[in-house]
Amino acid sequence: MPSFFSNKKLIILLTSLIILIALISYSLRQGNRSTWTEQFVQDVIGGFQYVVSVPARYAAGFFQNVNDIERAYQENKKLKENLANYASVEQENRDLAAQNKELKALIGMKNDPALSDYKKYSATLIGRSYDQWNQLITIDKGKVNGIKNGMPVITSGKRLIGSVTKAGNFTSKVSLISDDQNTNQISAMILPKKGAPIFGMIEGYDQSKGVLTFAKIPIKAKVSKGQVVTTSGLSGKYTKGLVVGTITQVTTDQYGLTKTALIKPAADLNHLNYVLVLDRQAQESGGGGKGD
């Protein structure tokens, strides 16, 4: 007996077994209720899980926010691209609508009674070459289409833009009324509400102001701002009644002998798409078919 109780390790083992059996028995008697030991262990484990899981959740949330921001950025970028494409398409639609309107106006002019004696060739502008001294456009019609040098060229509303100066086989060069080679060949007139027509000559173009100079107007003629200037047909180059532009200013020359008016061209010479070329030969074919 003394030797048995002297073995401390054996005593500790037996005591531990007794305590363990007692705890198990107590736990079985408690049923679903947790013992203070289980609660302590559970709380310790739960606290440890909380300490570990909270930073993990924040980290996961952070990366999720980063992904959300990246996705929002990509979506915003795509929306901006779509808006840019929409703006481009909208502008194209406006341009097409304007061109369609211009084409309809030109088609209507083919049936204009005032031009019934003239053969008309519709053409499209395909090129432009201009500088301060010379302004030329290229159209997609040439000799094979019946185009000849000297033919007047107009746009919708019978607005004069120039004349054919070099007809090729398939394309032609058109010199605009803003070209100095053209301006000294335009005989023009004003039709007042009362009285006889007022005649003069287009003698220049101010590039900086974008206006034509209508000179040699009789000093006694009643000319005022807003009056419409048309071709007179007297020079033999342009048919009568083509609209040149509107008077913006009237002055008297330095000698007080004639008046000079500045004219804003009726046609927008910087934005041309479609034109009509008039064949004067058609009008004169019955009287011998004289040309220019």
Cβ(229)–Cβ(145) below 8 Å: no
Q: Is residue 17 scored above 90 in pLDDT?
A: no
Work out the number of other CB atoms within 10 angstroms of the CB of residue 254: 6
pLDDT above 60 (res 5): no
For residue 43, pLDDT beyond 70: no
> Which pairing describes strands 119-130 and 159-167: parallel, antiparallel, or unpaired?
unpaired
Chain-wide mean pLDDT for the chain? 77
What is the pLDDT, as a whole number, of residue 4? 47
What is the Cα–Cα distance from 184 to 177, expressed in whole angstroms? 9
Q: What pLDDT, on a 0 to 100 scale, did the predictor assign at position 28?
A: 58
Query: What pLDDT does 264 receive?
Result: 96
Confidence (pLDDT) at 261: 94
Distance CA 17, CA 127 (A): 108
Token output for 251: 């002055």
pLDDT score of 81: 74
Burial, 169: exposed, middle or buried (Cβ in 10 Å; 0-12, 13-18, 19+)? exposed
Q: Is 119 helix (H, G, I), strand (E, B) or coil?
A: strand
Q: Does the pLDDT value for residue 286 go beyond 50?
A: no
Contact 171, 141 (CB under 8 A): yes
pLDDT value of position 234: 86
Model confidence over 221-263: pLDDT tens digits? 999 999 999 999 887 778 889 999 999 999 998 888 899 999 9
At 87 the three-state DSSP class reads: helix
Q: Which residue has the higher pLDDT, 32 or 243?
A: 243
pLDDT of the residue at 243: 94
Burial class from Cβ neighbours inside 10 Å (0-12, 13-18, 19+) for residue 53 reads exposed
pLDDT attached to residue 290: 39
Tens of pLDDT, residue by residue over 98-157, are 666 666 666 666 667 667 778 888 898 998 886 655 688 999 999 999 999 989 999 988
Tell me the range of 75-84, 180-189, 269-278 where mean pLDDT is highest.
Answer: 269-278
Judge contact between 136 and 99, C-beta under 8 A: no
Residue-wise DSSP of 193-213: SSSS-EEEEEEEEETTTTEEE
Say yes or no to pLDDT of 6 above 60. no
Q: Which of 60-64, 83-87, 178-182, 194-198 has the highest mean pLDDT?
A: 194-198
Predicted confidence at residue 203, as pLDDT, reads 87
Count of CA atoms in the C-beta half-sphere (13 A) of 202 = 37
Q: Which residue has the higher pLDDT, 288 or 139?
A: 139
Does pLDDT of 57 surpass 50? yes
Assess whether pLDDT exceeds 70 at residue 40.
Answer: no
What gap in Å lies between CA 117 and CA 56, rounded to an integer?
91
Give the count of alpha carbons within 13 A of 55, CB side only. 4
